[in-house]
Amino acid sequence: MRGCSVLCDPSTGKWAALLLRQWDGERGMMTELCDIKCGREAIAEFNAPYITEPFRMKGDKWVGVRVDGNCDEQVVFRLFDRALNSSKRYGATIVLASELPKPQSKRSVETPLPVRVTVSVPVRKYIPRKIQEMSMLYEYGDGSMRQRSKNFFTQGKFMEDYEDNQPWYGDYHRYFPTYHDLRLAELRGYFTWRTQLRKGNYQPIAASLAYIYVYELLNGIGADSPEDSLRKLKEFETEYIDSGIGDSDMRRNLHRWMAELAIIKNVKPETAALYFDEKEAAQDKALIILENPDRYGSGEIFCALCEMTTVRLKKSPVITKHGEEGTRLFAELWRYMLVNMTTESGNFFNMCFGTLRELRWHPLCNAVYWHPEPYADAEYVLNENHSFFCKDGLWYERTYPRVYFIREILNDFCHEADRLLRVYLKTGRPLKQRASAAWAAPYISAFIEADRQAKIEAAKPKITIRFSQLEQIRQDASVTRDSLLTEEEMTEAEEIEASPANAYDELTSDLLNEVQLKIMSMLLSGESVRPFINENHLMPSVLADEINEALFDEIGDTVLECDGENLSLIEDYTEDIKELLGGQYGGE
């Protein structure tokens, strides 16, 4: 050690900096070091290789500075300003140099610096008065993010209408950048870029400086209202990001901040929806549909399923080959699952997506944003299953959090549905069943069987016959017939009525042949017709179709069913058939 000097606060006498001079044997020259009482966070804040742990002093309030050719003069002066904690106080003017005159003594001496030391300094660049006044507004405080945000807001409002004409084209990288972090050239370059941008002339600039403009609008700097801020942020996205000038990675943060600003400023939900993240908005809509499927059509339900699952349902042959029918089946199956699969925690929807939860929400926490007063109690409904509310100054989000989704359940269900519906419709390449999806098969199979039966019922002719009125119809018809018959025809009719058996034979011979009459007789008597069918080498399905067709005009519906080998009477029409056949069959 060859010597040291102390810089004291002129008003308190407390040490603000310790300047050290020592011999560097490896380099063969005198080196200059400095410990500055500006807060240990300066190491991470400035991220400069010449700012290190302190060399001599102890404690979190001190940092070390190695003064050499790589040292940034303006940064070191800023650290001295911070150490004195006010740029309004008188202090010492320090000149940093790489060489100093050789000391007269080897003994370390502490020499208090006077309040003002007049030494030769390099000529500084011109600093606009407005920027000088802005720098005077900075308060170091505790150095927290909240303090930095407050300074940004105060300085930004002060510089709200400032314009400059000193372009700067360098590169700059920093998280949460503020005016105070910039060198003079960078600061003037930013304000020059902003001047042109406000005139509609969008030009490239380092991404970190573009973020400063976004922070300004979030804080209402350069905007008349929250709606105006949102409009200008959207314009920035279109003219700067979409045009390819800016960094496309900004878009995700930009969308998040715009939506959060709309919520905390109580902008109309329909306006906020314009800026909300498209993916999140689509999922919200899908959840509303899947939770309330009875309010929506099959197409909407199917699209909601596609939105929430990773199974490629739209590529399934159930959809590509069967169109609306395939869409209907997927939608009806989802409705079926919500009704028939329930647990203690809720229905199938809850199994897949959980329940509504209220979680702490921190709007604009990853942006430089200042809100001076505690938030007032508020309620903001974005849509029916996604809302926000503030209570006692704290914000909360009420929604279905994505972290609680169990997509494996939904994906297994969709895969198994696709597999079994392909079998049902006899379409596409068969899919292999997943072991994890075995739980879904019984539900889906039950739905398919119910749909199959519904189609069979729908295919039956729906004709309503009031059999209680048939007798009156017959009597009326008989009177009408008698009035139209000639005397000769009346005589023939009387002869027929006198011989009922002959009348029956004529009626039935017109409707059924001998074999068909035999079949109907056996069925009405409760006998099995299968031996008779086999002996006569008949086809049950053909017999059923022929008899159903022959009796359709009289009965108005299908009277026989065929399961492939056996025939059976439909019980509802047994009495009508007996009456039609004159009571001569069926054991009467």
Neighbours of 502 (CB within 10 A): 12
**What is the model's pLDDT at position 360?**
95
Q: How far apart are CA 311 and CA 314, in angstroms?
A: 9
DSSP string computed for 247-315: -TTHHHHHHHHHHHHHHHTT--HHHHHHHS-HHHHHHHHHHHHHHSGGGS-HHHHHHHHHHH-SS-GGG
**What is the model's pLDDT at position 95?**
42
**What is the model's pLDDT at position 496?**
45
Q: How far apart are CA 577 and CA 118, in angstroms?
A: 127
**What is the model's pLDDT at position 492?**
56
The domain locations on the chain are: 1-121, 129-275, 278-353+405-459, 467-580
Of 422, 451, 586, 427, the residue nearest 519 (C-alpha): 586
Strand stretches in 455-575, DSSP E? 560-562, 567-569
Q: Per residue, what are the HEC states of 199-258?
A: CCCCCCCCHHHHHHHHHHHHCCCCCCCHHHHHHHHHHHHHHHHCCCCCCCCHHHHHHHHH
Question: Letter for the amino acid at 213?
Answer: Y
DSSP state of 112: B
Collapsing DSSP states into helix, strand and coil, what is residue 564?
coil
**What is the model's pLDDT at position 264?**
95
Q: Say if residues 569 and 560 touch (Cβ distance below 8 Å).
A: yes
Which H/E stretch holds residue 346? strand 346-347
**What is the model's pLDDT at position 506?**
47
Query: Which residue's entry shows tokens 């009348």?
Result: 503
Does the domain at residues 1-121 carry the CATH identifier 3.90.1150? Answer: yes
> What is the value of pTM for the model shown?
0.57
**What is the model's pLDDT at position 335?**
96
Q: Say if residues 374 and 359 touch (Cβ distance below 8 Å).
A: no
- Running along the chain, 588 residues long, what does each successive block of 10 average in pLDDT? 73 82 72 88 80 88 85 80 58 42 44 44 70 91 88 96 95 93 95 96 95 97 95 95 86 92 93 83 94 95 95 92 95 95 88 93 94 92 93 94 90 94 91 91 95 88 61 66 60 52 50 84 86 84 83 70 83 78 54
Of 42, 37, 43, the residue nearest 16 (C-alpha): 37
**What is the model's pLDDT at position 276?**
82
Of 48, 46, 24, the residue nearest 98 (C-alpha): 24
Query: Which residue's entry shows tokens 């008065």?
Result: 129
**What is the model's pLDDT at position 507?**
45
**What is the model's pLDDT at position 345?**
77
Collapsing DSSP states into helix, strand and coil, what is residue 391?
strand
What's the token pair of residue 367?
């942006």
Strand stretches in 440-581, DSSP E? 560-562, 567-569
Altogether, the residues listed in the chain come to a count of 588
Neighbours of 433 (CB within 10 A): 14
> Which sign, positive or negative, has the C-alpha torsion 466, 471, 475, 481?
positive
> What is the bridge-based pairing of β-strands 386-391 and 3-8?
unpaired
CA angle 549–551–557, rounded 5-degree value? 80
Q: How far apart are CA 301 and CA 280, in angstroms?
A: 18
Q: Say if residues 380 and 387 touch (Cβ distance below 8 Å).
A: yes
CA torsion, points 164, 169, 175, 179, in degrees to nearest 10? -20
> What is the bridge-based pairing of β-strands 29-36 and 51-52?
unpaired
Which H/E stretch holds residue 382? strand 378-383
Q: Say if residues 551 and 544 touch (Cβ distance below 8 Å).
A: no
Of 118, 56, 69, 116, the residue nearest 92 (C-alpha): 116
What's the token pair of residue 318?
């159930």
